[in-house]
Amino acid sequence: MSTFEFTILIAFGSLVAGLIGALTGLGGGVVIVPLLTLAFGVDIRYAIGASLVSVIATSSGAAAAYLKEGFSNMRVGMFLEMATTVGAMTGAYVAASTPTRAIAIIFGIVLLYSAYSANKPPKDLLTDEPPDRYATLLKLDGSYPTSEGEQHYRVRHVPAGFGLMYVAGVLSGLLGIGSGAVKVLAMDQAMRIPFKVSTTTSNFMIGVTAAASAGIYLHRGYIDPGIAMPVMLGVLAGALIGARILPGARVRTLRLVFSVVIAALAVEMIFKGVKGSF
């Protein structure tokens, strides 16, 4: 296989990954690393570097659409960014001294969790409890527009959410993914933020988090232009097409199928990691 064929195949695979990732809400990043390592035999460090770059592209590319809707909560986003950026830098530093087979196994476990959590229907856990002390202090409570007017919400369990966001950052920096699934866990489950707000806010955070570790990966020589180029262009094109056809698409079946694919990739990564072929 020549470099030309290799590049075109990776670009095409990334486009499909970005498209399905956007349609299912799972993000294209989660399958880039398995795709590159399992199908193309690329070293996992190059794969993680390329995936990280594509995560930034989709996050910043989607921001314009999200900002117009007026759902995102900038204070929640910026406050939690302190946790995710420190986490991402931790993850990127830890990655250097972690054996690649261990990274493959952790990757597989996170993939399995992502596949599972994507199929749980989003449920808002709005409460009438008194305001959270930290949420008040940090002015995190907010509201978002609905067809029946402004819907107010209160942010709960700020320390737990902050801690979980640190974990999301570590995973992002270690594995080169957006770790949307852990962010959902922190913002929806722990902090009780309505999912419309948490999805749009976390989209913004994913790009900033990935940028925090991308610099470290770049300095370490993990970001190869020959691989990152087709991955970034493919995922970005796929995500933009996906966002355009999303409103009319019926995604439940697709999400289920994609989750099964992800779970299969996860098992293969764990298996190969345990066997030591990474």
Partner 1 sequence: MASTQAWGDKRFEVMMGRLLRFGVVFAAGWVLAGGIHYLVQFGGAKPEYKVFHGEPGGLRYAHEIVRGAMELDARGLIQLGLLLLIATPVARVAFSVIGFALEKDWMYVGITLIVLALLVYSLCSS
* Binding residues among 52-71 for partner 1 as defined by CB under 8 A: 53, 56-57, 59-61, 63-68, 70
Closer Cβ to partner 1, 148 or 253, answer by number: 148
Per CB under 8 A, the list member of 17, 115, 140, 266 interacting with partner 1 is 140
145 by DSSP, 3-state: which? strand
Is residue 191 part of the contact set for partner 1 (CB under 8 A)? no
Is residue 180 part of the contact set for partner 1 (CB under 8 A)? no
CB 198 within 8 A of CB 187: yes
Bridge partners of residue 153, in order along the sequence: 142
**Positions in 11-50 near partner 1 (CB under 8 A):** 40-43, 45-46
Long-range contacts: 273-278, Cβ < 8 Å, 24+? 273/101, 273/102, 273/103, 273/104, 273/105, 273/107, 273/108, 274/101, 274/105, 276/101, 277/101, 278/37, 278/44, 278/100, 278/101, 278/103, 278/104
Is residue 171 part of the contact set for partner 1 (CB under 8 A)? no
Stretch that binds partner 1, among 26-34, 181-189, 223-231, 266-274 (CB under 8 A): 223-231
Q: Round to whole Å and give the CA distance between 239 and 173.
A: 22
**Positions in 60-119 near partner 1 (CB under 8 A):** 60-61, 63-68, 70, 73-75, 78-79, 81-82, 85-86, 88-89, 92
Closer Cβ to partner 1, 90 or 114, answer by number: 90
Question: Which run of H or E residues covers position 27?
Answer: none
CB 41 within 8 A of CB 5: no
Closer Cβ to partner 1, 77 or 258, answer by number: 77
Closer Cβ to partner 1, 108 or 142, answer by number: 142
DSSP-assigned letter for residue 153: E
Is residue 244 part of the contact set for partner 1 (CB under 8 A)? no
Per CB under 8 A, the list member of 21, 29, 141, 156 interacting with partner 1 is 141
Closer Cβ to partner 1, 42 or 111, answer by number: 42
Closer Cβ to partner 1, 8 or 257, answer by number: 8
Question: Which run of H or E residues covers position 203?
Answer: helix 195-219
Per CB under 8 A, the list member of 215, 246, 249, 257 interacting with partner 1 is 215
Q: Cβ 152 to partner 1, closest distance in Å?
A: 8
CB 54 within 8 A of CB 14: yes
Per CB under 8 A, the list member of 220, 243, 256, 263 interacting with partner 1 is 220
Closest to 31 in 3D by CA, of 44, 50, 14: 14
Q: Round to whole Å and give the CA distance between 36 and 229.
A: 13
